Chains A and B, each alone.
Chain A
Amino acid sequence: MTIAISIKNLAKTYANGFEALKGISLEVEQGDFFALLGPNGAGKSTTIGVISTLVNKTSGSVEVFGKNVDTHVFETKLDFGIVPQEVNFSQFEKVQDIVMTQAGYYGLPRRIARERCEKYLRKLGLWEKRGERSRNLSGGMKRRLMIARALVHEPRLLILDEPTAGVDIELRRSMWKFLTEINNNGTTIILTTHYLEEAEHLCRNIAIIDEGEIVENTNMRKLLAELDSQTYILETSAPVPKGFVFSLQNSSHSIVDENCIEVTVSGGLSINDVFAKLSDSGIKIDSMRNKTNRLEQLFLSKLEGN
Chain B
Amino acid sequence: MFANHKYIAFETIVIKEVRRFARIWLQTLVPPAITIGLYFVIFGNLVGRRIGEMGGFQYMEFIVPGLIMMSVIQNSYSNVVSSFFSHKFQHSIEELLVSPVPNYIILSGFIVGGMARGLAVGTIVTIMSLFFADLSIQNLSITIAVVLLTSIVFALAGFINALFANSFDDISIIPTFVLTPLIYLGGVFYSVELLPPFWKFISALNPIFYMVNTFRYGILGSSDVDITWAFFILGVFIVILYSACIILLRKGTGLRN
- Enumerate chain A interface residues (CB-CB to B < 8 A): 14, 49, 52-56, 73-75, 77-78, 82, 84, 86-92, 97, 101-102, 104-109, 149
Contacts and interface: CB of A to CB of B under 8 A. Distances in A.
B166 to A, nearest CB: 14
A107 B94 contact: no
B49 interface: no
A53 B256 CA distance: 8
29 contacts: A52-B97, A54-B94, A54-B256, A56-B256, A73-B100, A74-B1, A82-B98, A86-B91, A88-B90, A88-B92, A88-B94, A88-B95, A90-B87, A91-B90, A92-B23, A97-B16, A101-B16, A101-B95, A104-B9, A104-B11, A105-B12, A105-B95, A105-B96, A105-B101, A106-B5, A106-B99, A107-B1, A107-B8, A109-B8
B228 interface: no
A54 B92 contact: no
A120 to B, nearest CB: 15
Task: Place the interface of chain B in its size category.
Answer: 20 to 34
B5 A107 contact: yes
Nearest to A84: B94
Given A84-B94, A149-B95, A105 B256 contact: no
B20 to A, nearest CB: 8
A108 B256 contact: no
A102 B87 contact: no
Contacts of A14: 257
Nearest to B101: A105
Given A56-B252, A74-B1, A90-B87, A105 B94 contact: no
A223 to B, nearest CB: 31
Nearest to B103: A73
Q: Which of A53, A74, A104, A107 has the most CB of B within 10 A?
A: A107
A74 B98 CA distance: 10
A37 to B, nearest CB: 22
Contacts, number: 83
Contacts of A86: 91
A149 B186 CA distance: 47
Contact of A101 (B12, B86, B256): B12
B95 A54 contact: no
B2 interface: yes
Contact of B91 (A49, A52, A73, A88): A88
A104 B16 CA distance: 10
A95 to B, nearest CB: 14
B91 A53 contact: no
3 interchain residue pairs of minimum CB distance:
A107-B5, A104-B12, A105-B99
B9 A89 contact: no
Given A56-B252, A89-B90, A105-B13, 4 more contacts: A56-B256, A101-B12, A104-B12, A104-B13
A interface SS class: loop
B13 to A, nearest CB: 8
Q: Which of B91, B99, B100, B102 has the most CB of A within 10 A?
A: B99
A109 B8 CA distance: 7
Nearest to B10: A104
A54 B97 contact: yes
Contacts of B96: 105
A87 B99 CA distance: 17
B4 A107 contact: yes
A139 to B, nearest CB: 16
Contacts of B5: 106-107
A190 to B, nearest CB: 14
A55 B91 CA distance: 14
Given A77-B99, A88-B90, A88-B95, A105 B257 contact: no
Interface in B1-46: 1-2, 4-6, 8-9, 11-13, 15-16, 19, 23
Contacts of B252: 56
A78 B102 CA distance: 12
B88 to A, nearest CB: 11
Contacts of A87: 91
B98 A107 contact: no
Nearest to A159: B98
Contacts of B90: 88-91
B257 A55 contact: yes
Contacts of A107: 1-2, 4-6, 8-9, 100
A136 to B, nearest CB: 15
Contact of A56 (B8, B87, B257): B257
A101 B93 CA distance: 12
A6 B94 CA distance: 23
A87 B100 CA distance: 20
A108 B1 CA distance: 11
A77 B98 contact: yes
Contact of A90 (B92, B102, B256): B92
Contacts of A49: 257
A56 B86 CA distance: 22
A149 B92 CA distance: 12
Nearest to B105: A105
A85 B54 CA distance: 61
